[in-house]
A and B are shown apart, each in its own frame.
Chain A
Amino acid sequence: ARTDLVLGMVLEPPHLDPTAGAAAAIDEVVYTNVFEGLTKIGPTGEVLPGLAESWEISQDGKTYTFKLHTGVKFHDGTEFNADDVKFSLERAIAPDTVNAQKALFAKIDTIEVVDPATVKITLKQPQGGFLYNLGWGDAVIVGSESVATNKEKPVGTGPFRFQNWARGSSITLVKNPDYWGEPVSLDKAEFRIIPDAAAAIPALLSGDVQAFPSAPVAEALDQIKADARLKVVIGSTEGETILSMNNKKAPFDNKLVRQAISYALNREEINAGAINGLGTPIGSHFAPHNPAYVDLIGTYPHDLEKAKALLAEAGLANGFSATIKLPPPPYARQGGEVIAAELAQIGINLEIIPLEWAQWLEQVFTGKDFDLTVISHVEPNDIDIYSRPDYYIGYQNPAFNKVIQELDATADEAKRKDLYGQAQKILADDAPVGFLFQLPKVGVWDAKLEGLWENTPIPANDLTKVKWTE
């Protein structure tokens, strides 16, 4: 069977150090392939052991003792041990850290090296998702010798080592013969950067690229499905796609107006127009594949009369004008266009303003200068963003904040699930934003290829189990 693979990806990572950058593309290349953390997230979002063979949690939920694998070597030949864990995590929580997910580690109090194969982490207070957090790409273990050059030449402990990066073109990984764990079956994997949607289709059809785990080909799916050599796998992502409203700004500070908008949205049509109907409708900010998911889609059914009535109640019977700022992805641009047409039906005239990412981040996300926007929030389990004090949406509800606080301090699964459910319901009712759909993951790959993830619990292309069947 073949042992090489070319994968397509839309965005090129800016660099290859997952502990020093937010870009998902970094993790999509190196996570679990090159770098490993203490724990590891599995294909369905479960927490699996990584470099830590096992762990113990103290009664009060504050102390975690990790037993590390032994005989693990970094790609540069240096030994992996507890010192590297301490180094990596302390680097992540340092005041001058450039780790993009500093919040993941906010609860860590101390990191102690018990012996070379044992690490003890003490938290300031119990944290329910701590093991999950350690499974993020931002929490992988790096070697102190190689940390300075990881951006260009990543050195980790994983089953693949970095070979070459032709910037703008492709990144090549090769099998690590000295891997401590189960050996992988691929000898070589090339991540090819194909930013243009129109180019992705022929790349797949011609066989130049054998797998496109997140293919921008929603519109051409029929054509690809017609090709027997290719397999199309529609999975889900952690991307809750929402119509964000500026809750601090009139008239969106009025719940009636937000509800009116929610009634006016025809999710089916938006889903069809934005991503060819591949998304899963959502009624709150929660991924449907998550065990704690509560179906709230029915909260605001498509009902123009009700929408108009609510607007009238809010004193805006004649509608109003506003802007909708759209970032570059097609789901946002096309979805925004459909939304604008729909809201026009209840008298809300939207001026469409497409923005580049840089501008969107500056104006909308940081500057909070917007009325409406369409955006997918791709971090896993991120319902807590609605409780953040200075978040761009500007939504504040003490009841909701309380639920989130409790969640944070709860490790018990059943209780957490219940709390998640409460949070979802509050949000659905308050309608701080219009909930649209869960962003699908359109995976296309060679029918003879197996082992690729169907869903995207976290950004990653885990190649450890990937192999050609013939």
Chain B
Amino acid sequence: MTAYILNRVLIGLATLLLASIVVFGVMEVLPGDPAQLMLGMSGSPEALANLRAQMGLDEPIVWRYLHWIGGLLTGDFGRSYTYSSPVADLIRERLAVSLPLALMSLLLSTFIALPVGIFAAARRGRLPDTLSMGTAQLGVAVPNFWFALLLIYAFAVWLKWLPAGGFPGWNGGIWNGIKSLILPSIALALPQAAILARVTRSALLDVLGEDYIRTARAKGLPRGRVLRRHALRNAMIPVLTILGLQFAFLLAGTIIIENVFYLPGLGRLIFQAITQRDLIVVEGVVMLLVASVIVVNIMVDLAYAVVDPRLREAA
């Protein structure tokens, strides 16, 4: 097991190295000059040249890459061009929003999807099944910014229960922070939940056809208990896989929702960094994302092993 994890970590590091080269290369071919962008339409050529020198943009590419990688190894992500503050600080600030948001939506989508999926599977082919799966399909097809705006109008403008957007920071009290993340996490969770519910249902249906379900029922256990105690755990593997993918998405793929709720999350940071050609920020965030995907993958694999003893040994 330890060897397995070590192996995965080593491969993960290699992936990161590869990622760093790819990302750096892509950033180089991205058209647009960060210095020019900072000066806008009014900058003079000298100012531009000065700024470029100040930002280190006139160094040769290989040198800049090595410099950057060297920095990464010592935990120095460099300084943002636009914000001129350390990238690591920026990422840390954004993670304080994105991480709780991702976790909240993940929890929410799990808490919605599992019961719905179980419910539908238990009533396979009957009206409740058709209805809940139909709703799930709608959940996938409805654009989430649309849904988000509806939430805002309902809960912020009309009912005034929750803020329409923004994030007060964790210093202003945990509850205030959580309050501002409730609507965004609902907006994010719903389509995810729809997908997850479908997966849960079909995984459960596969499992319910297995012989050991009949064995369990032959012990005199009621249906519900069989479903929870015997079927669910066996159906967890596809569900976990999807959850892992969703986490990766939720961490930085939520630009649109972050925009609608004007949350200072990672998604907006990277989006903004790309449009403003804040290359060093883009590079830093991408490295973080790749690393997190690797970590999540390892964790999902470990979770498989927890769920399924057969995989414990295979690992």
The answer on direct contact between A and B (beta carbons under 8 Å) is: yes
Chain A interface residues toward B at CB < 8 A: 12, 14-15, 21-23, 95-103, 151-152, 166-170, 192-196, 198-199, 202-203, 205-208, 356-359, 361-363, 365-366, 377, 379
Q: Which residue of A lies closest to B269 (CB)?
A: A168
CB pairs A–B below 8 angstroms (6 shown): A15-B84, A22-B43, A152-B84, A166-B264, A205-B157, A361-B41
Complex CA–CA separation, A12 to B80 (angstroms): 14
Q: Are A194 and B42 in contact (CB under 8 A)?
A: no
**Which residues of chain B are near A358, meaning CB under 8 Å?**
31-34, 36-37, 275-277
Contact with A along B58-77 (1 / 0, CB 8 A): 00000000000000000000
B54: chain A residues at CB < 8 Å are 98
A93 to B141, CA, bound (A): 58
User: Are A206 and B85 closer than 8 Å at their CB atoms?
Assistant: no
- B266 → chain A, closest Cβ, in Å? 10
Contact A14 B275 (CB under 8 A): no
Given A198-B260, A203-B165, A208-B164 in contact, is the A166-B93 Cβ separation under 8 Å? yes
Among B38, B47, B166, B268: residue with most chain A CB under 10 A: B166
Interface centre among B40, B169, B272 (most CB of A within 10 A): B40
Nearest neighbor of A361 in chain B, beta-carbon distance: B36
Using CB atoms, name the residue of chain B closest to A196: B259
What is the predominant secondary structure among interface residues of chain B facing chain A?
A: helix
- Complex Cα distance, B153 from A194, in Å, reads 16
B contact residues around A206 at 8 Å (CB): 152, 156-157, 160, 163-164
Asked if B262 is an interface residue, CB under 8 A from chain A, the answer is: yes
Q: How many angstroms from the CA of A165 to the CA of B153 in the assembled complex?
A: 28
Q: Contacting B47 at CB < 8 Å: which of A100, A169, A202, A207?
A: A100
Identify the closest chain A residue to B155 (Cβ).
A206
Cβ-closest 10 pairs across A and B:
A168-B264, A358-B32, A169-B264, A14-B82, A22-B40, A196-B259, A206-B164, A206-B156, A202-B164, A194-B262
How many whole Å from B260's CB to the nearest CB in chain A? 5
B interface with A by C-beta (< 8 Å): 31-34, 36-44, 46-47, 50-51, 54, 82-85, 90, 93-94, 145, 149, 152-153, 156-157, 160, 163-167, 169, 259-265, 268-269, 272, 275-277
- Docked CA distance A377–B42 (Å): 10
- 6 further A-B contacts with Cβ under 8 Å, apart from A15-B84, A196-B260, A199-B259, are A23-B40, A152-B85, A166-B93, A199-B165, A205-B157, A358-B33
Expressed in whole angstroms, the minimum distance between the Cβ of B80 and any Cβ of chain A is 8
A100 lies within 8 A of B40 (CB): yes
Report whether A168 and B84 are in contact in the complex, using a CB–CB cutoff of 8 Å: no
Bound-complex Cα distance A97 to B39 (A): 12
With a cutoff of 8 Å between Cβ atoms, the chain B residues found around residue A169 in the complex are: 166-167, 169, 262-264
Distance in angstroms between the alpha carbons of A24 and B34 in the assembled complex:
17
Q: Which residues of A contact B40 (CB under 8 A)?
A: 22-23, 100, 361
Chain B min CB distance to A203 (Å)? 5
Question: Given A22-B42, A202-B152, is A361 in contact with B264 using a C-beta cutoff of 8 Å?
Answer: no
- The contact of A202 among B33, B39, B156, B276, by CB within 8 Å, is B156
In the bound complex, how far is the Cα of B48 from the Cα of A178, in angstroms? 38
B37 A195 Cβ-Cβ under 8 A: no
A353 to chain B, nearest CB (A): 13
For residue A433, give the distance in angstroms from its CB to the closest CB of chain B: 14
CB–CB B262/A166 < 8 A? no
Chain A residues in 8 Å Cβ range of B43: 22, 100
Which A residues are in CB contact (< 8 Å) with B152? 199, 202, 206
Compute how far the CA of A324 lies from the CA of B42 in the bound complex, rounded to whole angstroms: 22
A103 — which chain B residues lie within 8 A by C-beta? 44
- Most chain B CB within 10 A, of A15, A202, A363, is at A202
What is the bound-complex CA distance between A22 and B276, given in angstroms? 14
Nearest chain B residue, comparing its CB with the CB of A96: B50
Which residues of the partner chain B approach A23 to less than 8 Å between Cβ atoms?
38, 40
Residue from B50, B262, B275, B277 in contact with A192 in the complex, judged by beta carbons closer than 8 Å: B262
Minimum CB–CB distance for A210 against chain B, Å: 13
Least Cβ distance of B295 to chain A in Å? Answer: 24
- Taking a contact as CB atoms under 8 Å apart, the answer to whether A167 and B84 are in contact is no
Which of A99, A166, A207, A359 has the largest number of chain B CB atoms within 10 A? Answer: A166
Assess the B268–A208 pair: CB atoms within 8 A.
no
A171 CB to nearest B CB, Å: 12
The chain A residue with its CB closest to the CB of B30 is A358
Q: Are A97 and B165 in contact (CB under 8 A)?
A: no
Given known contacts A166-B264, A199-B261, is B31 in contact with A208 (CB within 8 Å)?
no
| CA–CA, A314 and B260, complex, Å | 49
Q: Would B164 and A98 count as touching, CB distance under 8 A?
A: no
Across the interface, which residues of B come within 8 angstroms of A195, CB to CB? 259, 262, 268
Distance between B276 CB and nearest chain A CB, rounded to angstroms: 7
Smallest distance from the beta carbon of B146 to chain A beta carbons, Å? Answer: 10
Q: In the bound complex, what is the Cα–Cα distance between A361 and B42 (angstroms)?
A: 11
Report the minimum CB–CB distance from B148 to chain A (whole Å): 9
Q: Which residues of B contact A205 (CB under 8 A)?
A: 157, 164
Contact B93 A202 (CB under 8 A): no
User: When the two chains form their complex, are residues A168 and B31 in contact, meaning their CB atoms are under 8 A apart?
Assistant: no
* Contact of B145 with A98 in the complex, beta carbons under 8 Å: no
- Find out whether the CB atom of B84 lies under 8 angstroms from the CB atom of A151: yes
Known: A100-B40, A362-B32. A194 touches B83 (CB 8 A): no
Contact, CB under 8 Å: B260 / A193: no
Q: Tell whether, in the assembled complex, residue B259 and residue A166 are in contact, meaning their CB atoms are under 8 Å apart.
A: no
Distance (Å) between the CB of A382 and the closest chain B CB?
A: 9
Which residues from A are CB-within-8-Å of B164?
A: 199, 202-203, 205-206, 208
* Interface pair A198/B166, CB less than 8 Å apart: no
Chain A residue at minimal CB-CB distance from B80: A14
